[in-house]
């Protein structure tokens, strides 16, 4: 079962309000939180066994997969520290 998180920058007010992460009933695929090293997006991508994960915005494979418990990451717009918070709801 997966959950939702949101990202918000306290400096420039950029936000990504509903990012799904976690695992469903099966081990693969699962949604992982990432930061794209190419377009600097923060989001989630499906991780499949034996496949390269890609950015959902630019489709580049230069991703940094972030642990599910990540709570601070630099803003993709201004570079200042932003906060990742848990949101209500879940997915299966």
Query: How does pLDDT run across 5-63, given as a tens digit for each residue?
Result: 999 999 999 999 999 999 877 778 999 999 999 999 999 999 999 999 999 999 999 99
Q: How far are the Cα atoms of 12, 27, 30, 35, 82 from residue 67, in angstroms, in the given order?
A: 24, 16, 13, 11, 16
Domain spans in the chain, listed from the N-terminal domain onward: 2-86
- Cβ neighbors of 81 (< 8 A, separation 6 or more) are 9, 10, 72, 73, 74, 75
């Amino acid at each position: 079962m997966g959950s939702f998180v949101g990202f918000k920058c306290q400096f420039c007010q950029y936000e990504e309000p509903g990012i799904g992460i976690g695992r469903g009933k099966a081990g693969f695929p699962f949604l992982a939180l990432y930061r794209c090293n190419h377009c600097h997006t923060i989001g989630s991508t499906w991780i499949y066994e034996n496949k390269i994960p890609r950015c959902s915005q630019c489709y580049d494979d230069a991703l940094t997969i972030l642990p599910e418990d990540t709570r601070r990451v630099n803003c993709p717009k201004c570079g200042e520290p932003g906060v990742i918070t848990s949101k209500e709801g879940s997915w299966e």
